[in-house]
């Protein structure tokens, strides 16, 4: 998070509604750099109360509510983010909690309908006891997101049938640490779950010594499942076929400065 060798801005889902998931440090800046508009958000999801997942939440709430005067959108969070649990949180001010049209606290097993997308929370095993993973049910199939979790018995059953699995893989090989997945844990999951594509994110510093592309290739060889490392600007289009678009290059500061004015003034 501090070095930003691997970005911590979370990711966006566009599936009948626009949702930003786990907007950690850099979320707003990366949104603009890669040509997305923070003002078109319909929902923000924060799966647990760690800063690499929540720090840009309030500023995205301001964007989603069109600079705050318009009560709109849904803020969907773990209980720790909204109320505080044990030593975790709260992370979002009461002021910002009042601004979205809907404030939703999800527990594992809960469901929430956001436009054409059903959001289902699933269990994790993480240091924040209120953390959850997600299944997004869309018109083009299900997308799974593990959130931060260590491997636990029967984790696979929650992701059966997903077309794409977004997996937070913090350590390479079998170098696991508590509360997080390593590459070999993902191999174990993919022994029972067979999505069309896995996108690895949330990679830690040891992936500088064990290249993410090599680890992805190793996991694919072991499991037969297509695996790619996530990075800023990666886009996955889910239709009859799944298509991956990688940015040709990082936007320059000059290109970033040329963002059109209407991106900032909002949609009336």
In the chain, where are the structural domains located? 1-107, 140-249
Q: How many CB atoms lie within 10 A of CB 69?
A: 8
- pLDDT in the model for residue 217: 98
Torsion angle of C-alpha atoms 189, 195, 196, 201, degrees rounded to 10: -60
CATH of domain 140-249: 3.60.15.10
CATH of domain 1-107: 3.60.15.10
- pLDDT in the model for residue 261: 45
Stretches where the chain sits below pLDDT 50 are 259-262, 264-268
Query: Are 85 and 71 spatial neighbours (Cβ–Cβ below 8 Å)?
Result: no
Grouping H, G, I as helix, E, B as strand and the rest as coil, residue 227 is: strand
- pLDDT in the model for residue 218: 98
Find the helix or strand (DSSP H, E) in which 93 lies.
none
Judged on CB neighbours under 10 Å (0-12, 13-18, 19+), 258 is exposed
- pLDDT in the model for residue 10: 98
Q: Which residues, including other chains, have CB under 8 Å from residue 186's CB and lie 6 or more apart?
A: 167, 169, 198, 200, 219, 227
Judged on CB neighbours under 10 Å (0-12, 13-18, 19+), 190 is buried
- pLDDT in the model for residue 268: 39
How many whole angstroms separate alpha carbon 211 and alpha carbon 136? 29
- Assign residue 161 a region (left: φ > 0; alpha: ψ between -120 and 50; beta: otherwise): left
Query: Are 198 and 172 spatial neighbours (Cβ–Cβ below 8 Å)?
Result: no
- pLDDT in the model for residue 70: 83
Do the first three CATH levels of 1-107 and 140-249 match, i.e. the same topology?
yes
pLDDT tens for 2-12 read: 999 999 999 99
How many whole angstroms separate alpha carbon 120 and alpha carbon 76? 11
How many whole angstroms separate alpha carbon 103 and alpha carbon 111? 14
- pLDDT in the model for residue 266: 47
Among 148, 162, 170, CA closest to 190: 162
Phi, psi angle pair for 109, to nearest 5°: 100, -15
* List of E strands, 7-116: 11-14, 18-21, 43-46, 74-77, 102-105, 111-114
């Amino acid at each position: 998070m501090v070095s930003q060798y691997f970005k911590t801005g979370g990711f966006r889902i566009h599936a009948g509604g626009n949702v930003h998931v786990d907007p950690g440090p850099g979320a707003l800046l990366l949104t603009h750099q890669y040509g997305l508009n923070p003002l078109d958000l319909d929902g923000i999801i924060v799966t647990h109360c760690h800063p690499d997942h929540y720090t840009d939440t309030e500023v995205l709430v301001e964007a989603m509510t069109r600079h705050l005067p318009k009560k709109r959108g849904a803020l969907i969070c773990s209980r720790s983010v909204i109320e505080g649990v044990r030593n975790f949180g709260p992370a979002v001010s009461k002021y910002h909690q009042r601004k979205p049209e809907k404030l939703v606290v999800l527990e594992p097993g809960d469901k929430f309908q956001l436009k054409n997308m059903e959001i289902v929370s699933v269990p994790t095993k993480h240091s924040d006891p209120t953390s959850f993973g997600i299944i997004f049910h869309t018109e083009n199939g299900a997308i799974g997101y593990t959130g931060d979790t260590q491997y636990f018995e029967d984790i696979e059953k929650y992701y059966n049938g997903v077309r794409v699995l977004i997996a937070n893989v913090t350590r390479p090989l079998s170098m696991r640490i508590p509360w997080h997945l390593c590459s070999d844990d993902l191999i174990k999951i993919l022994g029972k779950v067979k999505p069309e594509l896995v996108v690895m994110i949330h990679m830690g510093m040891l992936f500088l010594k064990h290249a993410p592309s090599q680890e992805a290739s190793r996991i694919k060889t072991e499991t037969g499942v297509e695996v790619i490392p996530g990075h800023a600007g990666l886009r996955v289009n889910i239709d009859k076929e799944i298509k991956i678009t990688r940015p040709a290059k990082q936007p320059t500061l000059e290109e970033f400065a040329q963002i059109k004015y209407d991106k900032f003034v909002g949609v009336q």
